[in-house]
């Protein structure tokens, strides 16, 4: 089994990044991650002004997957996510959805105990570990790890969790997979500008899929698929996700465009991932049972 340690961090996804590992198709890799603040916040009295904002949203990697060529799809099976015993949060002026009504910055440390997080000393919530940043290198200009896009990146999709499979584009030789920004818990929207930010370890198995066309990024769980789209506005993201999923039903299910969008209007679900990054992200859910009825296999 391969391992990417925490001393291999990148701050943008780029074809120019040198791979820290080269692995074979089908390899299993463990990524050690920092939290989105690169572990700069250890106590609640950490000074907001002392944070180095050039070290935000680091991703571990990248990993070069042998045999992955532009036009292929990188299939990433998320085997396991392990998180630390405490997480950090912050919000304040100009941060998140209500930043215009906040007058000062506030940092919180949230303990993780016996499989639950305890907020404000009294609110217990179940853990739902997820990966906030995961993607491959884009073909063109570098993209900051804090920005989502067609390559993946900071999608903040809570369905990207243990047991699920993520499909990402291969834009450059080797794909150059990197990931980070784990959350022990996060609600759809991530409205304060962060989830429960934690360091941890992620174990994935990578496979190269050739000769296939899918709307990407795409997540598959045991019950559904989710087409993910990130755009300047939620409206634009919804259009992109709908177009991608409707196209899948047309291309692989033999439906007309009218029937594809009607079916999505009947049984599909548009869901928000996050509204606080440079681009907004949605996911469009369709249960696997409808794909099976149409003879679509993913």
137 with 270, same domain? no
pLDDT in tens, 98-127: 999 999 999 999 999 888 999 998 999 999
User: How many other C-beta atoms are found inside a 10 Å radius of the C-beta of residue 69?
Assistant: 12
Q: How far, CA to CA in Å, does 141 sit from each of 16, 66, 179?
A: 9, 23, 19
pLDDT of residue 54: 87
pLDDT of residue 166: 98
Q: Report H helices in the chain.
A: 234-253, 257-267, 288-293
| Burial environment of residue 46 by CB neighbours within 10 A (0 to 12, 13 to 18, 19 or more) | middle
Domain edge (last residue) among 209, 237, 261: 209
232 with 203, same domain? no
CATH number at residue 269: 3.10.28.20
pLDDT of residue 49: 84
Strand duo 152-153 + 130-135: pairing: antiparallel
pLDDT of residue 255: 98
pLDDT in tens, 56-78: 999 999 999 999 999 999 999 99
pLDDT in tens, 32-47: 999 999 999 988 888 8
228 with 178, same domain? no
Q: Please say if the pLDDT value at position 27 is more than 90.
A: yes
> Does any domain span residue 184?
yes
Domain edge (last residue) among 161, 179, 209: 209
pLDDT in tens, 132-189: 999 999 999 999 999 999 999 999 999 999 999 999 999 999 999 999 999 999 999 9
Residue 56 is classified by DSSP as S
pLDDT of residue 44: 87
32 with 72, same domain? yes
Look at phi and psi of residue 293 and say left if phi exceeds 0, alpha if psi is from -120 to 50, else beta: alpha
77 with 147, same domain? yes
Q: Please say if the pLDDT value at position 250 is more than 90.
A: yes
0.85 exceeded by the pTM?
yes
User: Can you tell me the mean pLDDT for 244-255?
Assistant: 98
> Does any domain span residue 96?
no
Q: Name the nearest CA neighbour of 33 among 116, 132, 125.
A: 132
149 with 284, same domain? no
Look up the domain containing 236 and give its range: 218-293
234 with 275, same domain? yes
> Does any domain span residue 114?
no
Cβ–Cβ < 8 Å for 43, 109: yes
**What is the C-alpha separation between 165 and 155, in angstroms, rounded?**
15
pLDDT band at 53 (very low <50, low <70, confident <90, very high): confident
Residue 19 is classified by DSSP as P
pLDDT of residue 209: 98
Specify the residue for token string 């939620």: 234
Q: How many domains does the chain have?
A: 2
To the nearest whole number, what is the mean pLDDT of the chain? 96
pLDDT of residue 231: 98
> Does any domain span residue 270?
yes
pLDDT of residue 219: 98
pLDDT of residue 114: 86
Q: What angle do CA 19, 23, 27 make, to 5 degrees?
A: 135
**What is the C-alpha separation between 105 and 229, in angstroms, rounded?**
31
The 10 Å CB-count burial string (b at 16+, else e) for 142-152 is ebbbbbbbbbb
Domain edge (last residue) among 176, 209, 242: 209
Residue 257's SS3 state is helix
Counting other chains too, the contacts that 147-154 makes at CB distance below 8 Å and 24 or more residues apart are 147/277, 147/278, 147/279, 148/230, 148/274, 148/277, 148/279, 148/281, 149/230, 149/279, 150/216, 150/217, 150/230, 151/13, 151/217, 152/13, 152/217, 153/13, 153/230, 154/57, 154/181, 154/274, 154/277
Strand duo 177-183 + 130-135: pairing: antiparallel
């Amino acid at each position: 089994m391969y391992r990417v340690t925490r001393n291999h961090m990148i701050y943008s996804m780029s074809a120019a990044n040198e791979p820290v590992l080269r692995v074979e198709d089908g390899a299993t890799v463990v990524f050690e991650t920092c939290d989105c603040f690169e572990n700069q916040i250890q106590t609640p009295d950490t000074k907001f002004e002392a944070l180095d904002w050039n070290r935000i949203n680091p991703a571990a990697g990248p990993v070069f997957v042998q045999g992955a060529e532009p036009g292929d799809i990188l299939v990433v099976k998320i085997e396991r996510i392990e998180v630390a015993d405490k997480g950090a949060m912050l919000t304040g002026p100009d941060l998140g959805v209500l930043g215009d009504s906040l007058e000062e910055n506030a940092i919180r440390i949230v303990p993780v105990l016996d499989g639950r997080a305890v907020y404000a000393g009294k609110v217990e919530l179940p853990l739902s570990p997820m990966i906030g940043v995961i993607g491959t290198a884009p073909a063109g200009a570098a993209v900051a790890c804090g920005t989502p896009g067609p390559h993946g990146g900071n999608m903040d999709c809570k369905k990207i969790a243990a047991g699920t499979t993520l499909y990402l584009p291969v834009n450059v030789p080797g794909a150059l997979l990197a990931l980070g920004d784990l959350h022990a818990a996060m609600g759809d929207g991530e409205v304060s500008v962060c989830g429960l930010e934690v360091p941890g370890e992620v174990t994935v198995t990578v496979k190269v899929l050739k000769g296939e066309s899918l709307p990407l990024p795409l997540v598959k769980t045991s019950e559904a698929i989710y087409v993910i789209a990130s755009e300047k506005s939620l409206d634009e993201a919804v259009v992109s996700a709908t177009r991608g999923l409707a196209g899948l039903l047309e291309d692989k299910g033999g439906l007309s465009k009218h029937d594809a969008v009607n079916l999505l209007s009947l049984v599909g679900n548009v869901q928000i991932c996050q509204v606080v990054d440079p681009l907004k992200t949605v996911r469009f859910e369709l249960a696997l049972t409808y794909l099976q009825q149409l003879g679509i296999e993913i």
